[in-house]
Structure 1
Amino acid sequence: MKEQLIKAMQRNQIIDLIYMSKGGKITKRRVKIIKMTDGIFQDYCFVKHAKRTFIIENVLATSSVFRKENVVV
């Protein structure tokens, strides 16, 4: 999981992640990773509209967010 998070940060990607809090609550977040340190990462959470800190071990799944381009024909 850590490798996927590092790639998303290096590519400046927005990702969806499934996260389990310390209390066991599972949430889905859309985030952009700002920085990573030993076992944690800081990001901007689009759900909470604020910077948040997450524990890498508690990330259950990730997926890239692809934006559709508006095309005028």
Structure 2
Amino acid sequence: MLKDLERYLDTGALVDIIYMDRNEQFTKRTVKLKEISGEHVKAYCYQRHANRMFKIDKILAAIPARKNKPRF
């Protein structure tokens, strides 16, 4: 997963992630990665319209975002 995230950060691609939040609920987010630091990813979340921190081990899937259709 880390290698994929690093590649998406390098290319600047928007990414669809499936993430397990602190309440163990699954959520799909479209994000633009800004920084990878230790166990966390800082990204702009388009659902929340804000910068967010995501734990890498809670990101279950990450793929390049499609412009008009969700892939999950």
| TM-score, normalisation: structure 1 | 0.87
Question: Bigger CA drift: 59-68 or 48-57?
Answer: 59-68
Q: Could you tell me which residue of structure 2 aligns to residue 71 of structure 1?
A: none
Partner Cα separation in structure 1 for residue 66 and residue 59 of structure 2: 20
Q: CA RMSD in A?
A: 1.2
Question: Bigger CA drift: 19-28 or 59-68?
Answer: 59-68
The SS at the match of 2:4 is helix
The SS at the match of 1:7 is helix
Letter of the 1:11 partner, please give it: T
Q: Which runs of 5+ in 2 are unaligned?
A: none
Q: Could you tell me which residue of structure 2 aligns to residue 8 of structure 1?
A: 8
Aligned pairs, number:
68
Is 1:41 the counterpart of 2:41? The answer is yes
Where has structure 1 moved over 4 Å in runs of 4 or more?
none
Q: Could you tell me which residue of structure 1 aligns to residue 53 of structure 2?
A: 53
Partner Cα separation in structure 1 for residue 65 and residue 54 of structure 2: 19
| TM-score, normalisation: structure 2 | 0.88
